């Protein structure tokens, strides 16, 4: 399958920045890069994330779970004392630290940049999707950031979609004095927007990827995990229907637009089953509510026309027990 209406009959292609300048500026303002710090204070890049809700002092960022559970954790603990498959390991020992000295979320718009702290992260072991609450550091605001509405629909095989993520990520950091964790860093990145074709839809999982997902013809590289996939709506709007999770592409596909790759994209609708805290106080997070309920309350924007196809079952305490998408 090739990209619809592409005169060159390519399987995938990178959109040109100069031709789509306004689009790139808007998408750039919605993306984050997760930076973790090793034991020596060196910053390393773990992956990409994108905003689905934002205010001046708070942002809600979606990323792939493995960006946190493997990327951030691996940077913070390069030589763990146990194998992840070992028995009787407390969950806290496998969780990445959200300490602002050890983890940051960097935002870079068209004309400005800032570094945010990650104050909360939630994910489950059954999905490669995570939600993070980020706040800007002192005297900064998300005044130029934009959010991407979630899309509960699922693209169909043969449809053209667009992958948005950070590529060619590099960071140079230097500890500049006391305390030890005072630092300066320079970061480089290129926003990649790739047109691709949906090559398969897998509502019950695909190979080792045991969650609702679909595959596309465009290859993705390291650092692009946690980016999003959008489909062009009839009204010209953009909504995120997928999260970049993995890549099975060959080297040949990565080097030629005429050879189809295989990127694995997690569907966004299962995000509705995750829970977020209602507020934070001196004792930490207090109370929870599912993303589904946040959407119903109008606090998170989503394609509400598709919510009728999604049902949640709850346990006796009102928590989300499971989430199912009906055909």
Residue 168 lies in a domain: yes
- Bridge partners of residue 136, in order along the sequence: 116
Checking if the pLDDT of 82 tops 70, the result is no
Tell me, what CATH number does 24's domain have?
2.40.10.120
Q: Considering only residues 306 and 69, tell me which one the structure prediction assigns the higher pLDDT.
A: 69
Q: How far apart are CA 106 and CA 82, in angstroms?
A: 31
Return phi, psi of residue 30, to 5°: -110, 0
Residue 301 lies in a domain: no
Q: How many domains does the chain have?
A: 1
Q: What is the pLDDT of residue 175?
A: 53
Residue 283 lies in a domain: no
Give the model confidence (pLDDT) of 86-107 as tens digits: 666 666 667 899 998 889 999 9
Contact 310, 325 (CB under 8 A): yes
Give the model confidence (pLDDT) of 219-276 as tens digits: 998 889 999 999 888 787 889 999 999 999 999 999 999 999 999 999 999 999 999 9
Among 80-84, 99-103, 167-171, 236-240, which is the least confidently predicted range? 80-84
Q: What is the mean pLDDT of residues 202-218?
A: 94
Between vectors from CA 31 to CA 30 and to CA 32, what angle results, nearest 5°? 135
Structural domain that includes position 266: 12-270
- Bridge partners of residue 44, in order along the sequence: 36
Q: What is the pLDDT of residue 224?
A: 92
Show the DSSP H helices in 152-257 as ranges: 251-255
Residue 25 lies in a domain: yes
Q: What is the pLDDT of residue 64?
A: 97
Q: What is the pLDDT of residue 136?
A: 92
Q: How far apart are CA 227 and CA 81, in angstroms?
A: 31
């Amino acid at each position: 399958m090739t990209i619809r209406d592409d005169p060159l009959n390519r399987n995938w292609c990178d959109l040109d920045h100069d031709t789509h300048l306004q689009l790139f500026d808007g998408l750039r303002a919605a993306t984050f890069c997760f930076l973790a710090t090793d034991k020596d204070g060196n910053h390393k890049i773990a992956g990409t994330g994108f905003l689905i809700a934002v205010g001046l002092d708070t942002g809600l960022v979606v990323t792939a779970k493995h960006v946190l559970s493997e990327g951030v954790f691996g940077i913070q603990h390069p030589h763990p004392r146990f194998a992840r498959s070992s028995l009787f390991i407390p969950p806290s020992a496998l969780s990445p630290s959200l300490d602002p000295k050890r983890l940051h979320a960097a935002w870079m718009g068209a004309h400005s940049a800032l570094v945010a702290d990650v104050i909360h992260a939630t994910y489950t072991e059954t999905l490669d999707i995570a939600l993070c609450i980020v706040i800007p550091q002192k005297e900064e605001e998300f005044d130029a950031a934009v959010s991407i509405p979630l899309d509960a629909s699922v693209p169909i095989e043969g449809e053209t979609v667009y992958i948005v993520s950070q590529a060619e990520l590099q960071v140079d950091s230097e500890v500049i004095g006391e305390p030890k964790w005072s630092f300066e860093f320079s970061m480089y990145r290129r926003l990649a927007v790739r047109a691709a074709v949906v090559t398969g839809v897998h509502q019950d999982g695909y190979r080792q990827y045991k969650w609702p997902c679909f595959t596309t013809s465009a290859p993705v590289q390291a650092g692009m995990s946690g980016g999003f996939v959008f489909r062009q709506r009839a009204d010209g709007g953009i909504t995120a229907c997928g999260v970049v999770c993995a890549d099975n592409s060959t080297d040949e596909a990565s080097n030629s637009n005429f050879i189809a790759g295989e990127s694995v994209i997690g569907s966004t609708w299962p995000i509705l089953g995750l829970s977020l805290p209602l507020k934070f106080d001196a004792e930490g997070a207090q109370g929870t509510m599912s993303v589904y309920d946040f959407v119903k309350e109008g606090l998170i924007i989503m394609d509400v026309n598709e919510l009728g196809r999604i049902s949640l079952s709850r346990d006796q305490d009102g928590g989300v027990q499971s989430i199912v998408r009906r055909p």
